[in-house]
Amino acid sequence: MLLPPLSYIPLDPSHSTIRERERERERESTMRSLMHLFSLYLFIFSATYDSFVHRTLADGVTPEEAKLLRDEVREMFYHAFDGYMEHAFPRDELRPLSCQGEDTIGNYALTLIDSLDTLALLGDRERFTTSVEWIGKNLRFDINKTVSVFETTIRILGGLLSAHLIASDYATGMRIPSYEDQLLHLAEDLARRMLPAFDTPTGIPFGSVNLMHGVDEHESKVTSTAGGGTLTLEFGVLSRLTNDPIFEEVTKNAVRGLWARRSKLNLVGAHINVFTGEWTQKDAGIGTSIDSFYEYLLKAYLLFGEEEYLYMFQEAYGAAMHYLHNDPWYVEVNMDSAAIVWPLFNSLQAFWPGLQVLAGDIDPAIRTHAAFFSVWKRYGFTPEGFNLATLNVQQGQKSYPLRPELMESTYWLFKATTDPRYLDTGRDMVASLQYGARCPCGYCHISDVEFHEQEDHMESFFLAETVKYLWLLFDLAAGPDNLVENGPYMYVFSTEGHLLPATPQISLVREHCSYLGAYCRSGDSRRKSYTSDTSFVEQKNNYTREFGGRMQTYLTAETSYTSAPFSGFIKGVCPGLTHGQKFGISYVNPTYTHGDNSDYKDRDRGEHSVQERQSIVIGGDQDDGKQSDDSEYNEDIRESGDSGSQSVKDPAFQSHSVVIVSNDDGGNRQTDDSNSNHDDTESDDKSSESQFPQRLGQCPS
């Protein structure tokens, strides 16, 4: 034992005195140890007390209270829906403070269309039937109106398709006897009017299109990643319902165009030039301008079962978790260097935990959701931007426009974990909306979350998503009795919250016939051309691009779309190759260096066209899916082995994390313009075979 300092030794140092001092020091040491243990206990208790109290309060949400909360959310929906129908219909959206209507997107009863499947979900047969019949008789899209391709797709096209699938199917319990596919015909007409937006060198669509005249010659050539990559669900479902692949083809190639231009880190930027392929904003994140690009990669796989979407999602998700995740938050970084450029929580990021639930990555979803909800608790709402450096609302981003993303993630986390804390979270959200956002005729935007100032506007997605997810949350806790939980199909929610069922006609389209005989593909896959009355203003250029192994010509004045079958997209796929090699998705450099399109008619057949086709288009013969030179192909498979591939697990059934599939070549294959041949007369089978391995990633010889 160490002796005390000499200054503490008595002048008369008898042995008994020294022993007493030593015993006293031992007692003091023991007391200090006990105090240390007690302090540690207090620390542990204080750290767990909030969680304990939180869990205790949440445990108080009994099934009876969940029913009351569900009924309260139902009343919230009808307060806003009735306010719209009485004061705003048939205009697009409601001004809930002044009780007036306003046109915000296209002057076609936006809020009613966006609310259709919510009415069906609530079991309101009368209003659902009345609304569907009115829309079928009165809605038209032959109007001289320039609309957002993204917003029109997710709100109008998605709303029409979802309502059609409910109204036309006896299995949903909401079948309308007099219904004769009017909504489907409207959806097809609307989508065809938006097809000219995809007439770009990259395949990535313009952000806006005129429903009568096509794309204006002065239309901006810059669009967001989400705007170009969040169209696959709605257009893909439409292709399956109409048996016309053109809708799915253009949207799939838009996704390929974006993914082919990702950085070496597998990150995508926020805005891109649809003509040159150059990124005009290289900030990579999971929020504004990018969010639903990630969402639709996974959901397209879940709904359509196409492995290509799963591959892209796994690569993109792995990069996001590596470079953007600053546990539990997410930041924005430069897509090339991964340097942090914006330490900001953006309210649109709140969808991410819900997406992670669908991907099976639950643990980080729980932590991130808790962090995001802490911002809600602090202000009563989530501001558009919360600065993670200053821990304050970002200047100029103080509003809350009734966004649904946090409710969506709360619903999915409760469904995955059954943890009652998420019921408490939902109860807090309902209280905030009721006391802070409720207006005379609906629910108001919050212009400043710090002072709860109201603004006279109500987005249609409040009825399509916000109250829908809250109602589903409490109905699930009360004992579910709704179309989603008890219906005949698995449903995938679009980014606007619309219900898209995995019916045989939608999800088994590549099968010859479902085992129940519910849907069989006919031999004539509607390969006829469709001539649209939609034309481009003052644009006379023609150009060709490749879809599914054949050349498709877009003609302006009278735009001709030649449909192709779904099968035969992938030819010569080798089990020993990585997904990137199988699908031929590589990196590309920007195609052009100038933003104007004055010489576009010559450029599209110029030196860059082969580079574009090799990068973003999957080749393959239209007629069949046979490999050329089968004997050599099989020999290549034996030589390639399994070194370049890993098994892919369905993320919908993983319990912990997504399996990230590696791409051994890093996706760094470069195109070689010197090997290109643009003379149509020389495009024989031999030249096609010589370029085939580069474009498709056949097994190496």
Q: What is the mean pLDDT of residues 73-100?
A: 98
Q: Which residue has the higher pLDDT, 552 or 322?
A: 322
Cα distances from 511 to residues 242, 244, 567, in angstroms, run 16, 16, 9
Q: What is the mean pLDDT of residues 123-148?
A: 97
Q: What is the mean pLDDT of residues 78-107?
A: 96
Band the pLDDT of 683: cuts 50, 70, 90: very low
**Mean pLDDT lowest among 28-37, 277-286, 334-343, 365-374:** 28-37
Percent of the chain with pLDDT over 90: 62
pLDDT of residue 193 exceeding 80: yes
Q: What is the pLDDT of residue 342?
A: 87
pLDDT of residue 499 exceeding 80: yes
Active site residues: 151, 291, 384, 405
Q: What is the pLDDT of residue 525?
A: 39
Percent of the chain with pLDDT over 70: 64
Band the pLDDT of 701: cuts 50, 70, 90: very low
Q: What is the mean pLDDT of residues 234-251?
A: 97
Residues 6+ apart with CB under 8 A from 50: none
Of the candidates 550, 549, 698, 546, which has an alpha carbon nearest to the alpha carbon of residue 611?
546
Q: Which residue has the higher pLDDT, 62 or 403?
A: 403
Instruction: Report the C-alpha gap between 60 and 349 in whole angstroms.
Output: 30
pLDDT of residue 690 exceeding 80: no
pLDDT in tens, 298-309: 999 999 999 999
As a whole number, the mean pLDDT across the chain is 75
Q: What is the pLDDT of residue 96?
A: 98
Cα distances from 381 to residues 80, 393, 463, in angstroms, run 19, 11, 18
Q: What is the mean pLDDT of residues 660-679?
A: 35
**What's the pTM value of the predicted model, to 2 decimals?**
0.71
pLDDT of residue 545 exceeding 60: no
Count of helix runs (H) and strand runs (E) in the chain? 25, 23
Instruction: Report the C-alpha gap between 305 and 299 in whole angstroms.
Output: 9
Q: Peptide bond before 90: cis, by omega within 30 degrees of 0?
A: yes
Residues 6+ apart with CB under 8 A from 484: 121, 472, 491, 499
